[in-house]
Structure 1
Amino acid sequence: MSKIAARDRLIFALDVPSAAEADRLLDRLQGHISFVKIGLELYTAAGPDMIKRVVGRGMRVFLDLKFLDIEETVRRATARVAAMGVDFLTIHANRKALTAAVQGREGSSLKLLAVTVLTNFDSQDLRDMGIQRSVQDLVAARALLASEVGCDGVVASGEEPAAIRQKVGPRFVIVTPGVRPAGKGVDDHARATTPTQTIAAGADYLVIGRPIRDAADPVATVTTIVSEMQAAFDARPI
């Protein structure tokens, strides 16, 4: 049986437009979640202070800002993120940006996750960008790049962990957004999967936002999701 505690592997995507709304949700979920994703919307509204408030609650922070810029900018920005006590940070899977982020987090416990292919992209989106590879092949190649330059893991959909594991092995962290409980809509995710499917495929952390945020009873929803996740982790070979 798995020794993984599912509650620690659920990352709640706190995608709300204000600090006040974030605090209201966190008040309701205090004691039921331990890991929070702060993305572009909330970070734009509330900035680093929101990170301090989440850390002050005893929760971990996944800062999903998808850095991509010249090396000096990425290096310095990553150093600032590390100093704020963030646990996970996303960087687009560009060799120069990833290398700069690895340099910027030196001496800290910050884990760097390369963004492979956004979960709302499909093969047609890649062709529109001039990329002729399949989504799965591109994700696997970018995961290998991230591993080679010293990143800790990747962000990828629930359809790709098996291909990633073939390239980078079992210890590389896979964080999967676009996870939807069975019977829920996929929203704007082109490659959505259920918690059970995602964990069985090999993902380590699941990012779930709207199904919890928009639920009539967010606590009950979290409880149901964590229960499903725990069963899936327990059923997965160690």
Structure 2
Amino acid sequence: MKRLITALDTSDLRQAKAWAKALAPHVGALKLGLEFFLAHGRDGYAAMDGVPIFLDLKLHDIPNTVAGAVRSILPLQPAMLTVHASGGPDMVAAAKDAASRVPNPPLILAVTVLTSLNQAGLQAIGLKRSVEEQVTLLAEMAISRGADGLVCSPLEVPVLRKTLGRSVKLVVPGIRPPGADRGDQARTMTPWEAVQAGADWIVVGRPITASADPAAAASAIAMEIG
């Protein structure tokens, strides 16, 4: 699968379909998150036919509820599905077990620390570890309980590669091409820097979808990361 994933962060179905058509030749997957999925559900998901889907719902609840949610999603056949690692080891294990009940299950990706959070943000919610320490703690726990990969900021990719090796899949948002507005992202790198650090896939949203020519923007990033 190509290493560029584009986030379609919109509740406008017509716009999302137009982006999907334009971007399909340049990306490995399209990321659909809460904004889109809560607005359009299964019908909107089906409208993205033809491109692998990274379904970024960040499931976070008691293990039984998350397992049920995963089972409900499986008929959609997403390529990737996210859960919050902070839901705990039993929740991660329940998500993986539920996904494993079908052929060609989605990759269960555990979200470590959101890329919008910096050190001050962690402290505001009562966490005293450094960002890197918190990411590593959650990453090791999630992988030990069956997660196929992790979602982390590019800044933590080197330490996770050193700690967990090459087999763990790393999906990396917080990607901003040189000169792009960081928006609400606190921990960022350029596409090339993230891939060089060891990212398997990079997720780019607004720098592509907000550009005058999304297809050209995606193509340029795809070429940059090779």
**TM-score when normalising by structure 2:** 0.94
Of residues 66-75 and 18-27 in structure 1, the stretch that sits farther from structure 2 once superposed is 18-27
> What do the CA deviations read for 1:5-62 (whole angstroms, capped 9, x no partner)?
7xx11111011112121112223224233410000100111112222222x2x21010
Contact 1:143/1:167 (CA < 8 Å) preserved in 2?
no
SS of equivalent residue, structure 1 residue 180: coil
Correspondent of 2:58 among 55, 66, 74:
66
Correspondent of 2:26 among 21, 27, 32:
32
Contact 1:35/1:59 (CA < 8 Å) preserved in 2?
yes
Of residues 89-98 and 169-178 in structure 1, the stretch that sits farther from structure 2 once superposed is 89-98
1:1-238 to 2 correspondence within 5 Å? 8-54=2-48, 56=49, 58-93=50-85, 94-108=88-102, 109-230=105-226
User: For residue 63 of structure 1, what is the amino acid of its counterpart?
Assistant: L
> What do the CA deviations read for 1:103-130 (whole angstroms, capped 9, x no partner)?
2112332110101000010111111111
SS of equivalent residue, structure 1 residue 47: helix
Quote the Cα distance in structure 1 between the aligned partners of 2:137 and 2:63.
Answer: 21
Q: Indicate how the Cα distance of structure 1 residues 161 and 34 shifts in structure 2: closer, same or farther if over 3 A, else same.
A: closer
Quote the Cα distance in structure 1 between the aligned partners of 2:160 and 2:139.
Answer: 6
Contact 1:67/1:97 (CA < 8 Å) preserved in 2?
no
Quote the Cα distance in structure 2 between the aligned partners of 1:44 and 1:114.
Answer: 21
Quote the Cα distance in structure 1 between the aligned partners of 2:24 and 2:201.
Answer: 19
Quote the Cα distance in structure 1 between the aligned partners of 2:44 and 2:52.
Answer: 12
User: For residue 107 of structure 1, what is the amino acid of its counterpart?
Assistant: R
**TM-score when normalising by structure 1:** 0.90
Structure 2: segments with no counterpart, 5+ residues: none
Name the counterpart of 1:236. none
Poorly superposed stretches of 4+, deviation over 3 Å: none
Of residues 38-47 and 160-169 in structure 1, the stretch that sits farther from structure 2 once superposed is 160-169
**RMSD value, Cα:** 1.2
User: For residue 206 of structure 2, what is the amino acid of its counterpart?
Assistant: R
